Structure 1
Amino acid sequence: MSWQYKLTSFAGAALAATLMSGTFLGAASAEEVVLKMAVPDWPPTRIMKDMFDKQYKAPSGNTVKLDIDFIPWPDYYTRLNASLTSGEQKYNMAVSDSQWLGAFVEGGYYKKLNEFIDADPGLKAAMDDMHPAPLNAYSTYPHKTPNYYGFPQFPDVLVSFARKDILCNEEEQKNFQAKFNKKLPCTPEELDDMDWEMFENIGQFFQRKKGENLAGKPADDDFYGIAYQAGKGYDFSSMQINGFIWQEGGNVWDETQAPKGQAEGVVNSPEAVKALDHYLRLIQYMPPVAKTGTMDIFKSDELFREGKVAINIDWIGLGEASLDPKTSKVSDKIAFGLMPGTRGADGKIIRWSNIGGQPFVLMTWNTDTQTKEALDFVKWWLSKPVQTEYASKGGQSAIKSVYSDPAYVTFRPWNRAWAGSLDWQKDVWHVPQFFELLTQQQDQFDLAITGKQDAKTTLDNIAKFQQNLLSEAGLIQ
């Protein structure tokens, strides 16, 4: 054997050992990659960051850091929009509300993802295993087309948060039966069968002043039966009212019907007016703050946690605080059920609702390395083990194989209402004009909520505005 061959063999063995050990050449080629992400500040994103910091290892061998801006929900759209439109290119990723997809895709900020999904069996499998309602809401633009711009970060639905100690009280049960000739719902299963008529009855029944009898003892503050979102800010009233409209057989302007779908005659249809009237009628049984137009999702959640409301309709994303004795006076007194709906002629409940939750999006200016690392992070996030752990910590999953596992309902008490809600979820407006549509609609709904305008006038004004705006944009002909 020649010395040349021996030296070559030795060099080859040394190289193999170096690559296998991950030292020397591996260390020299590794990079530190920072992914700057904008997110709303609430439990679903805090849990995600904690899981990433403790667990994530990039398949590339790079050191990947997730640098997150936690932004309060009321300011989130304004601040993200300002960043994107300024050209500063600050963020590589964001957790985006679904309604922003059209505006920010057309603005050139959100990256189209189809080529990456098609090239990656792991990502494709995750998308194929996703419930169609969140897939369409969080990923597609134009809406319900196979053009993907987002991956679910946190899917969300509205559910009932209920005070079981109040509702199950024998005296309250007896008195409610005597007044309405109905059983007061108490168990999670009974809450699942609650329609809006029952919800209204509960609102009428549980209006108690401080000191009046409540479940066998004097109420320590004014107490109310019901609460739901009725706030002027962002989309708070719209997200509840849309459900009422769909359940009554009405509709909002449907972008999938453009350019033939109309706003006038649809948005202000008799069914839609009836639905808004119904929504407004219930406000009289809520805490007085509801009539001021400031009953957003956080206020109704706060009132429930303070022990001032029997049943609150709110997003699962806010649920963690209600179970924590540090932030909730009723942490050990809660039952959860499906959101109420409209009972049809066949006796079954119609449960259409506006989906909550948000997708991850990637920015168009990312480097190839940033894009690859962001996609690897998303693939990790959407994997069954990680999604299962996220759900066990209070998150939710849109992945069928995760939420259909029998263990899923044991993670949190509201999870029993999750799968049953998904088939009823719809979304609203992914078009670039969404913010003008939303702002005008929220202003009009506020006039109705605060008693300054009736339901028909409100919806007539909204329909006229939408017809004009969308016609000018070429989305209505």
Structure 2
Amino acid sequence: MTVMTKMKGFAAAASLAATLLAGGASTASAEEVVLTMAVPDWPPTRIMKKFFDEQYKPKSGNTVKLEVDFIPWPDFYTRVNASLTSGEQKYNFIVSDSQWLGAFVEGGYFRKINDLLEADPEFMKTFKSIHPNPLNAYATYPHKTENYYGFPQFPDVLVNFARSDVLCHEEEQKNFQAKYGKKLPCTGEELDAMTWDDFRNVGEFFMRKKGDMLAGQPAEDDFYGIAYQAGKGYDFSSMQINGLIWQMGGNIWDETQAPTGQAEGVVNSPEAVKALEKYLDMIQFMPPLAKTGTMDIFKTAELFQEGKVAMNINWIGLGEAALDPKTSKVADKLVFGQMPGTLGPDGQMVRWSNIGGQPFVLTTWTTDAQIKEAVEFVKWWLSPEIQHQFAANGGQSAIKEVYEDPKYVTYRPWNRAWAPQLDWQKDVWHVPQFFELLTQQQDQFDLAITGKQDAKTTLDNIAKFQQNLLTEAGLIQ
């Protein structure tokens, strides 16, 4: 072979290599895709980010980064709302509260996901395996339709956190029986059987001053029997009060009945007034902070973890800190049960409660590449393996095959109360006017909680406001 022939051969080979690099190799090359997410700052989202960083490997081969803004709960809605309405298009991915759906769908910010589900039958199958109550709350707008906007990130319910060392103490048991003619609830099963009247009795019974005898020892500080949400901020008091209203035969304004469903005569019905009166009556047996309107979910958790309360109704999402000796003086003294219920006319327990938890949502400006990676991440997140891991680290799953697995109840002591509560979950409104409804209602509840207004006046004011607002919006005729 001549030198010239060799040179032509090298040139041809070099040309072919260049073609491959510019063509086939470039189409197969990995890209960097950044997903920017707004989330509330609490354990379920911290766990999610940790799992992503330590375990997630995109099937695409791309480098996928999840940049997360952790926002404190009291500021969460206002911060996200400000971002979305400013037009800055900062977030592709948001862990949204369920009641935001209507406002942000109608505003053009949240992307409908039906097409993404329909394009992936296996993913649709997983999606439809979610319990219908969380699915409706986290995904649908209008509520309970098949217009889907959210993938569940963390489902949540209210449960009863309790001090077994105090409740099971022999002397306390004896004295409670003598005073109320009933056994002081001590085990998880006994907590499950509690009515609100039983809960009130526990509150009254355990009102102890510093130095009084408590479980065989002088109390180190003032001690209280019960605690639950009674906070003016965000939705704190509404989340507790709604459950009592539903349990006692009342209702909130029902968006699924629009435009014929009314607010006046419903929101302030005699049943609803009686439920609010019961809620307010129990505050006297809670730490004094409750009467200031600042008893939010974090403060109730803090007081319980400091050992100042026998029973606390709170979200599972805040449970991890109660089990951690670094943050809880009562970490080794806990028992959990379902939130108290109300006995119906037939003698059966009625357990309605306002659902907690949040969905993932995609924003409408998210690119195709980002959507593809976001969906793959959600599919991974909702896979049984990861859902089991999430539950084992303090999260929850609403996917039936996961929470019905016998090992699910072994992950955390509150998991025994999880599945039985799912059938009893309802949600507050999802309509675009939700924040106006919520803010006025929280203000009114605060007046009642702080002793400035009675229950009937409070609900009359709420009903009148809602009737006017929703009539102007065309949601009531």
TM-score norm. by structure 2 comes to 0.95
The Cα offsets for residues 451-475 of structure 1, whole Å up to 9 and x where unpaired, read as 0000000000000000000000000
Alignment-derived partner of residue 366 in structure 2:
366
Distance in 1 between residues matched to 2:275 and 2:208, nearest whole Å: 27
Describe how 1:170-319 pairs up with structure 2 within 5 A: 170-319=170-319
Match in the other structure for 1:444: 444
Counterpart for residue 151 of structure 1: 151
1:49 and 2:14 equivalent? Answer: no
CA distance in 1, matches of 2:198, 2:124: 43
Percent sequence identity over matched residues?
Answer: 77
> Secondary structure of the residue that 2:346 maps to in structure 1?
coil
State the secondary structure of the residue aligned to 1:359: strand
Amino acid at match of 2:77: Y
User: Which residue of the partner structure matches residue 4 of structure 1?
Assistant: none
**Counterpart of 2:370 in structure 1: which amino acid?**
Q
CA distance in 2, matches of 1:439, 1:114: 32
Deviation at 1:118, TM superposition (A): 0.7
| Per-residue CA distance 1:56-78 (angstroms, 9 max, x = gap) | 11111111111000111111111
Amino acid at match of 1:78: T
Question: Residue 273 of structure 1: SS of its match in structure 2?
Answer: helix
Tell me what 1:375 maps to: 375
| C-alpha distance in 2 between matches for 1:26 and 1:289 | 63
Q: Contact 1:352–1:424 at 8 Å: present in 2 too? A: yes
Residue identity in the other structure for 1:335: V
Specify the alignment match of 2:5 in structure 1: none
Q: Which runs of 5+ in 2 are unaligned?
A: 1-8
2:346 maps to a residue whose letter is: D
Q: Does 1:347 align with 2:350?
A: no
| Separation of aligned partners in 2, 1:98 and 1:66 | 22
Tell me which residue corresponds to 1:161: 161
Tell me, yes or no, if structure 1 residue 393 matches structure 2 residue 393.
yes
Partner Cα distance (1:85, 1:27) in 2: 37
The question of whether the paired residues in 2 share the 8 Å contact of 1:93 and 1:363 is answered with yes
> 1:464 maps to which residue?
464
- Aligned residue type for 1:373: E
- 1:40 corresponding residue in structure 2: 40
The residue that corresponds to 2:120 in the other structure is: 120
Distance 1:332 1:121 in 2: 45
SS state of the match for residue 361, structure 2? strand
SS of structure 2 residue aligned to 1:336: strand
Taking the aligned partners of 2:424 and 2:151, their CA distance within structure 1 comes to 20
Q: Which amino acid aligns with 2:181?
A: N
**1:80 pairs with 2:80:** yes
- After superposition, give the CA deviation of every residue in 1:359-416 in whole Å (9 maximum; x if it has no partner): 0000100111011111111111111111111111110001000000000000000000
**What SS is found at the alignment partner of 2:124?**
helix
Q: Which moved more, 1:53-62 or 1:234-243?
A: 53-62
TM-score w.r.t. the length of structure 1 is: 0.95
SS of 2:419 mapped into structure 1: helix
2:37 is paired with a residue of what secondary structure?
strand
| Aligned position for 1:3 | none
Question: Which residue number in structure 1 is paired with residue 334 of structure 2?
Answer: 334
The 3-state SS of whatever aligns with 2:112 is coil
> Post-superposition shift, 1:27?
8.8
Within 1, Cα distance between the matches of 2:420 and 2:466?
A: 33
Residue by residue over 1:188-243, the C-alpha shift from the partner in whole angstroms, topping out at 9 and shown as x without a partner, is 11001011010000001000000000000000000000000000000000000000
Q: Residue 357 of structure 2 aligns to which amino acid in structure 1?
A: G
CA offsets 1:260-302 (integer angstroms, 9 cap, x no match): 0000000000000010001000000000000000011111100
**Structure 1: distance between partners of 2:175 and 2:367:** 66
In the alignment, which residue of structure 2 is the partner of 1:421? 421
Cα deviation for residue 152 of structure 1 reads 0.4
1:430 corresponding residue in structure 2: 430
Equivalent residue, structure 1, for 2:4: none
Q: Which residue of 2 aligns with 1:134?
A: 134
For 1:423-468, what per-residue CA distance to the aligned partner results, in whole angstroms no more than 9, with x for missing partners?
0000011000000000000000000000000000000000000000
Q: Identify the residue that residue 473 of structure 1 maps to in structure 2.
A: 473
What is the CA deviation profile of residues 87-121 of structure 1, one whole-angstrom value per residue up to 9, with x for unaligned ones?
00000100000000000000100000001101112
Offset from partner CA, 1:300-358 (integer Å, 9 cap, x none): 10000000000000000000000000000000000000000111233321100000000
Cα distance, 1:25 vs. partner? 2.4
Which residue of structure 1 lines up, in the alignment, with residue 105 of structure 2? 105
Instruction: Write the letter of the residue equivalent to 1:182.
Output: K
Task: Supply the AA of the counterpart residue of 2:391.
Answer: A
Post-superposition offset of 1:126: 1.3
* Alpha-carbon distance in 1 for matches of 2:43, 2:122: 27
Q: Does structure 2 conserve the Cα–Cα contact (< 8 Å) formed by 1:122 and 1:379?
A: no
Instruction: Return the letter of the residue paired with 1:390.
Output: F
Deviation at 1:28, TM superposition (A): 5.7
Over the residues paired in the alignment, what is the CA RMSD in angstroms?
1.5
Supply the distance in 1 between the matched residues of 2:390 and 2:203 (Cα, whole angstroms). Answer: 35
Distance 2:164 2:111 in 1: 46
1:453 equivalent in structure 2: 453
Mapped partners of 1:298, 1:343: distance in 2? 29
Pairing 1:320–2:324 present = no
How far apart, in 2, do the equivalents of 1:95 and 1:202 lie? 37
- C-alpha separation in 2, matches of 1:69 and 1:85: 17
In the TM superposition, residue 26 of structure 1 has moved relative to its aligned partner by 7.2
Bigger shift: 264-273 or 343-352? Answer: 343-352
The amino acid that maps onto 1:371 is: I
Aligned length: 460
The code of the aligned residue for 1:197 comes to: D
Question: Counterparts of 1:235 and 1:128 in 2: how far apart (Å)?
Answer: 28
Give 2:312's aligned amino acid. N
Q: Which runs of 5+ in 1 are unaligned?
A: 1-6
Q: Which amino acid aligns with 2:403?
A: Y
